[in-house]
Amino acid sequence: MSVTKMRKIISVARMFVAATLALFLADAAHAAAPGITGPTFNLTAQTAFLNQPDGAQVYAWGYGCNGAPAGFAPAAMVGATCPTMQVPGPTLIVTEGQTVTVNLTNNLPAPAGNTSILFPGFNVTATGGTAGVLTQEAANGGTVTYTFVANSPGTHAYYSGTQGDLQVEMGLYGAVIVLPTGNATVTAACGTLTTGGLPATNPGNNAKAKAAWNEADFRLAASAYDNPKTCYDREYLFQWAEMDPRIHNEALAQVTALGSCTAGANGCQLQVPTEPYHPAYFVINGRSMPDLMDANYAPEYPHQPYNGDPHMHPGEMTLIRSIGQGRWQHPFHEHANHVRILARDGNLQLAPDGNNLAGLLMFNTDTTPGEAFDGIFYFTGRGLNWDAYGHNPSSADASAKLPCTPDANGYNTGAPAAINYFEWCQDHNKPVEANPIGDVPGGGPVTLPNPNILTNGPWYGGTPYLGPDASIRGGGTQACLTNNGGTTAGNPADSLCTPLQPSNIQANPGNERGWAYMWHSHNEREITTNNVFPGGMLMMMLVDSREFVIDENK
């Protein structure tokens, strides 16, 4: 075997181990939609290096805070920072109707020339600076001011309007989130940020369940838009982009070679070709897998403060905010369910009656360059055809005999503090295997692993069931359900029991027996880092039962 091939195999193995350890050995990090609050923002454009999973540090340009921001959001987030350069730039969080002012100072190297910001979808007034092709620009060391009214709720992009093929590629992009002011109808359906949301499309008690388990609220608002059908329980922001290291390396080489030349002087300009384009790094919120699974504001990523790792409980309405910030379209596939599109670029998708939502239900959500969308993801476990919580009426464990009382929609929502809150009652007490495929009672000749178990258990939670002590409740040392509804002796080797891995071999916390569903680009090359899998635009959406407290600060 050649040395080159051997090194590649070793690299693949190391990245796979790193990714696996990130899942099993570290506390699961979560994403939320953190940012800074306005309505006045003082930003700077500067240089720094971005850490990559393969050990590389990529030279980049980015927007950052020019001094301390007015504040951080969401309110429950701790340890938030806003460095002088970050990729993506600070998420600017404002409220509908506010007059937003952004003061941008150009602290890029002199050869980079002018820079600017575009705010698509808003009527912007620019003052100061020098006239550019698309907007007023800040010259080297100079400042330009942009003012607009945030008259459109939702998720919006911002990015450089100067030599965009180079400057956006280098990292000069970010997001604006405009929160709705709300109205009486929306408040009646969604509650408020302090009381918790209660989506009209989900007549459960998610707010009460959150309060029962003392879970902090990391939302920015109770609804995404001024419409009662856009209530949500949890939210995440994903900004998709790619990087061609050749472009970044050539920019660094020319900046270094030109040194401290005078901005605007003859010969003090970069001449970096941006074609042909061959990206090797594919990032979400400035990070690649597995780095994007580390916490927000993790110190090992001083210029990549935002992560990308969604986490939810069954029955929650999860708001996805997504922006295509690069050159390529990225097909975003969210395993476990489709996504209902609410809006694109802040334009709520309504039916002709002006009230009902009309957005597509998408298997793949498209992240088109320069376009943002908001969508709702919803997961309950309905249709699995087994009891997701491992109930067993013959068990000595009280938690294994919890009742399931269906509400009008068939879910157990009457007991917000119950471990099996939002259980689909039609599957209550159903074993995951009534007649195991390939087991001797099924005709043999050998025992084969059931795909249900392989899909949901051994890789993350060690069990096909949700909740603490799930393995014990579902089989293990307790009695197992037979295919005729009776019981048989509790014996892990009994062919009528669901074969489970012992829960004590799992490295994740004993009270977290959740499921992991892959969310990723459906362009296979984009789930690599420098052509090594796994990496790139790949994350895991974690589903945990209600008693596991999701803390976005970890």
Q: Quick check: 288 and 9 in contact, CB under 8 A? A: no
How confident is the model over 400-425, as pLDDT tens digits? Answer: 888 999 988 899 998 888 889 999 99
φ, ψ of residue 46 to 5 degrees: the values are: -145, 180
What is the reported pLDDT for 211?
84
Token pair belonging to 226: 């001024």
In whole angstroms, what is the distance from residue 348 CA to residue 186 CA? Answer: 15
Q: What is the mean pLDDT of residues 347-351?
A: 92
How confident is the model over 163-209, as pLDDT tens digits? Answer: 999 999 999 999 999 999 988 888 888 877 766 655 545 556 788 88
In whole angstroms, what is the distance from residue 154 CA to residue 359 CA? Answer: 15
Q: Quick check: 433 and 481 in contact, CB under 8 A? A: no
What is the reported pLDDT for 30?
63
In whole angstroms, what is the distance from residue 328 CA to residue 450 CA? Answer: 39
For residue 500, the enclosing domain spans 381-456+469-504
- Number of Cβ within 10 Å of residue 489's Cβ equals 9
Is the pLDDT reported for residue 483 higher than 60? no
Distance from CA of residue 87 to its chain's centroid? 16
Distance from CA of residue 320 to its chain's centroid? 8
> What is the Cα gyration radius of the chain?
25
Phi-psi region of 514 (alpha: psi -120 to 50; beta: other; left: phi over 0): beta
Residue 245 forms part of a structural domain: no
Residue 28 forms part of a structural domain: no
Q: Which of 29-33, 91-95, 339-343 has the lowest mean pLDDT?
A: 29-33
Residue 403 forms part of a structural domain: yes
How confident is the model over 302-315, as pLDDT tens digits? Answer: 999 999 989 999 99
Beta-bridge partner residues of 65: 43
For residues 263-291, b (16+ Cβ closer than 10 Å) or e, as one string?
beeeebbbebebeeeebbbbbbbbbbbbb
Residue 550 forms part of a structural domain: no
Token pair belonging to 423: 């259980």
Q: How confident is the model at residue 212 (pLDDT cuts 50, 70, 90)?
A: confident
- The DSSP bridge pattern shows strands 361-362 and 487-488 to be unpaired
The percentage of residues in the chain with a pLDDT greater than 70, rounded to a whole number, is: 79
Residue 292 forms part of a structural domain: no
Q: What is the mean pLDDT of residues 105-122?
A: 97
Residue 399 forms part of a structural domain: yes
> Domain tally for the chain?
1
Residue 511 forms part of a structural domain: no
In whole angstroms, what is the distance from residue 237 CA to residue 73 CA? Answer: 13
Q: How confident is the model at residue 142 (pLDDT cuts 50, 70, 90)?
A: very high
Q: Quick check: 410 and 379 in contact, CB under 8 A? A: no
In whole angstroms, what is the distance from residue 512 CA to residue 503 CA? Answer: 11
Is the pLDDT reported for residue 2 higher than 50? no
Residue 481 forms part of a structural domain: yes
- Give every CB contact of residue 25 below 8 A, 6+ residues apart in sequence: 507
In the 8-state DSSP scheme, what is residue 215?
P
Token pair belonging to 203: 């007549």
| Whole-number Cα distances in Å, 99 to 151, 430, 477 | 9, 56, 63
Residue ranges with strand state E in 487-544: 487-488, 515-521, 538-543
How confident is the model over 427-456, as pLDDT tens digits? Answer: 998 877 665 555 555 555 665 555 555 544
Residue ranges with strand state E in 275-360: 281-284, 311-312, 317-324, 330-334, 339-344, 347-348
In whole angstroms, what is the distance from residue 216 CA to residue 226 CA? Answer: 24
φ, ψ of residue 511 to 5 degrees: the values are: -90, 0
How confident is the model over 238-247, as pLDDT tens digits? Answer: 999 999 999 9
What is the reported pLDDT for 401?
85
What is the helix (H) or strand (E) element at residue 462, kind and residue range?
none
In the 8-state DSSP scheme, what is residue 452?
H
Q: Which of 176-180, 381-385, 397-401, 524-528 has the lowest mean pLDDT?
A: 397-401
Residues making up the chain, counted from first to last: 554
